[in-house]
Amino acid sequence: DIQMTQSPSTLSAAVGDRVSITCRSSQRVTDWLAWYQQKPGKAPKLLIFKASTLESGVPSRFGGSGFGTEFTLTITSLQPDDFATYYCQLYDPLFPRTFGPGTKVEI
Amino acid sequence: QVQLVESGGGLVKPGGSLRLSCAASGFTFSDYSMTWIRQAPGKGLEWISYINEKGDFSKYSDSVKGRVTVSRDNAHDSMFLQMRSLRAEDTAVYYCARDQGVEVVPTADSWGQGTLVTVSS
């Protein structure tokens, strides 16, 4: 089975910081990689799909990059509303849809 | 406005069964594939099932395969998850989600608020 990992598991940052979260897959995949944001008690929200495409309505401070086995979510200037947990998800049709374990972004 | 509302969760004994429902509105339900994703208390997200637009193709995670059946009723804009032989580790919030409609390979772009399933004696 394909495994997805994320680093760091927790990230402490301040408003205005540039932060990056890395997602790695145990096998080489294409760019069918999404990023979701989840706040406590809420459903996840799609931020990025196809590794780097910004979902409609998502602020441009969010960006995605990567291909193969390593992907990155970057927030260029952290805002108070961005403190949340972020998950990557592989949705390559060749593999079961698999989420990473999550990265909590906290103050 | 896309709306997905899950129902059917609750407390069930180990070995029991439960049927979850997902009522969709605000979009043409029959044009979209759908998925179920769950989240155990305090844990991460786990994809468990997919069903295509027509309802004639489905996929399951290894953790639920053989114990869960996904189905849909396009005439009533609804999706279902029939769960059997439930275990304590099936305790989770269960989300239904709509896949993107225009992407060749879609991921979930809209989610319900979830329904809690608790498996306990």
Q: Do residue A89 and residue B105 have CB atoms under 8 angstroms apart? A: no
Nearest one of A53, A65, A73, A78 to A7, comparing CA atoms: A73
Q: Do residue A46 and residue B35 have CB atoms under 8 angstroms apart? A: no
A95 interfacial to chain B (CB closer than 8 Å): no
- What whole-number distance in Å separates Cα of residue A51 and Cα of residue A35? 8
Q: Do residue A46 and residue B109 have CB atoms under 8 angstroms apart? A: yes
Mean pLDDT of B73-77: 98
Residue A93: predicted pLDDT: 83
Q: pLDDT-based confidence at B101, cuts 50/70/90?
A: confident
Residues A64-99 pLDDT 10s: 999 989 999 999 999 999 999 999 999 988 888 999
Mean pLDDT of B56-69: 95
Q: Report how far Cα B1 is from the mean position of its chain's Cα atoms.
A: 20
pLDDT of residue B39 exceeding 90, the answer is yes
Question: How many C-beta neighbours within 10 Å does residue A29 have?
Answer: 21
Residue A10: predicted pLDDT: 97
Among A42, A46, A96, the residue with its CB nearest the CB of B107 is: A46
Average pLDDT, chain B: 96
Chain A residue at shortest CA distance from B60 = A96
A86 interfacial to chain B (CB closer than 8 Å): no
Residues A33-72 pLDDT 10s: 999 999 999 999 999 999 999 999 999 999 999 998 999 9
Q: Do residue A44 and residue B50 have CB atoms under 8 angstroms apart? A: no
CA dihedral sign of residues A10, B48, B53, B31: negative
pLDDT of residue A1 exceeding 90, the answer is no
- What whole-number distance in Å separates Cα of residue A39 and Cα of residue A82? 9
Residues B2-31 pLDDT 10s: 999 999 999 999 999 999 999 999 999 999
Percent of chain B at pLDDT > 90 equals 94
Q: Which residues of B touch A (CB under 8 A)?
A: 35, 44-47, 50, 59, 61-62, 95, 100, 103, 105-109, 111-114
Q: Do residue A49 and residue B44 have CB atoms under 8 angstroms apart? A: no
Residue A55: predicted pLDDT: 96
Q: Do residue B47 and residue A97 have CB atoms under 8 angstroms apart? A: yes
